[in-house]
Structure 1
Amino acid sequence: MIKAVLFDLDGTLLDRDASVLKFAADQADRLGIADKEKYIHRFIELDARGYVWKDKVYQQMLREFDIPQMTWENLLEDYLESFHKHCVPFPNLIELLEGLKAAGYKLGLITNGFERMQMSSIQALGVECYFDCIIISEREGIKKPDSMIFQKALKVLGTAPSESIYIGDHPDNDMKAAKAMGMKTIWKRDTQWESVEADYVVDELEEVLGIIVSDK
């Protein structure tokens, strides 16, 4: 019987692609970039869906764009200070979390990334209050797919892997790692991958509650 539901953040609760697009467009406007579309395209390309940290991204952006009186450090700080203002949740996020809490499930969140960035995104989405456990890789000194980060979350929640289900978008960091722990898995489909091994597959968050409630 499922007692705890754990989530990934980026690509699962946070529509990171849409958020990055909004942020890059806003930053280009504020910097007065002449070719706004090129700036947006290159930022998204260099960002590599968050797998390249922004110090390297902005060092390259300065080589390609004329941004007077700005250093890569200035641009990085602007990213850190401003990204959360552009966070886009996937549809039905709050409804899902409220439904799970009302049904009595414990909720956890496990995310790779820097604590400052991830917490500001979580708070911007307005979901911090729903979680009994928030695990961020920088704070823990371990990151997915390391089994220890899942063990940490389950210990805090007080549930066994067999009593827990994990929802994420990454085939290895989320699905494979959680399954190896003995947890059930729900893959939130991402078009970057054609197929992923998981117990369930969803396209929208609104599908999740029904799956969990029916999984006895």
Structure 2
Amino acid sequence: METVKALLFDLDNTLMDRDSTFRSFSTQFVSHFLGHLEPDRQLEIVEDIIVRDADGYRDKDGFFRELSEVLPWRESVSPAEIRAFYDLNYSGHGALMKHAVESLGFLRERGYELGLLTNGKSDIQHGKIDFLGLRSHFKSIVISGEAGISKPDPAIYRLALDKLGYGPEETVFIGDHPVNDIWGAGRAGMKGIWLRRNHPWNDKLDVKPWKTIDDLHELRSIL
């Protein structure tokens, strides 16, 4: 491959520890709305919400509607009220992935240009980026909610590359999702570094990771 000059990062469960973030938010959510329940029951409901969330890959409208229907409210709570609580509070629970900031700093010192490409609502994703103090590390940030297209649509990778100012042969994509990050970026012409998290690799995919890591610290020995 040609010399790597730029790196595109995913956000959720790559730079932000979404598992910890969503668990923290869910705990606040249950305490706020279901504080009338016994503590053990509240913990059970937190675990149930985490399962229903499916690592964030549920349609949010459907997810909030389901919670409105199934949770043991003292008084009924509408999907719109759940959405409002989520929009107001979720970003403030953001937790960094281990070695995220150190790795970004190291890569910038090595001379790489860094960009961020993430799926999600604009206000939520910007809120997380700012809460985690990540914005200053990136030359460009592309969010699907602003772009009107989402990973793994090839057009959003091309948009991210254009904003970063490099071609796909000069850029490596780093993310945790086999399809949205590695396969999608590969179809757009980029090599991918797969951060193994919650999604097992699908051997039927016609794009394979260039490298596989279990911790962002491992980027130091690759790039």
- Structural mapping, 1:1-216, within 5 Å: 1-31=3-33, 32-34=35-37, 35-64=41-70, 65-68=72-75, 70-194=77-201, 197-212=208-223
TM-score w.r.t. length of structure 1: 0.92
Q: Quick one: which amino acid aligns to residue 137 of structure 1?
A: S
TM-score w.r.t. length of structure 2: 0.89
In 1, Cα distance between equivalents of 2:155 and 2:218: 29
Give deviations 1:172-200, integer Å, cap 9, x for gaps. Answer: 11111111222111000124305662010
Aligned-CA RMSD value = 1.6
Indicate if the aligned counterparts of 2:177 and 2:199 stay in contact, CA closer than 8 A: no
In 1, Cα distance between equivalents of 2:162 and 2:176: 23
Indicate if the aligned counterparts of 1:47 and 1:53 stay in contact, CA closer than 8 A: no
- Identity fraction in percent: 34
In 2, Cα distance between equivalents of 1:33 and 1:85: 24
* Alpha-carbon offset, residue 41 of structure 1: 2.0
CA gap 1:142/1:90 in 2 versus in 1, 3 angstroms: same
Q: Which runs of 5+ in 1 are unaligned?
A: none
The alignment of Structure 1 onto Structure 2 pairs a total of residues equal to: 212
60-69 vs 162-171, greater mean Cα deviation? 60-69
Q: Quick one: which amino acid aligns to residue 11 of structure 1?
A: N
* Alpha-carbon offset, residue 37 of structure 1: 1.8
* Alpha-carbon offset, residue 103 of structure 1: 1.5
Give deviations 1:81-111, integer Å, cap 9, x for gaps. Answer: 1111111111111111111111211100111
* Alpha-carbon offset, residue 69 of structure 1: 5.7
Indicate if the aligned counterparts of 1:7 and 1:108 stay in contact, CA closer than 8 A: yes
In 2, Cα distance between equivalents of 1:191 and 1:63: 27
Q: Quick one: which amino acid aligns to residue 114 of structure 2?
A: L
Give deviations 1:139-181, integer Å, cap 9, x for gaps. Answer: 1111111111111111112111111100011111111111122
Indicate if the aligned counterparts of 2:68 and 2:76 stay in contact, CA closer than 8 A: no
SS at match of 1:27: helix
Q: Which runs of 5+ in 2 are unaligned?
A: none
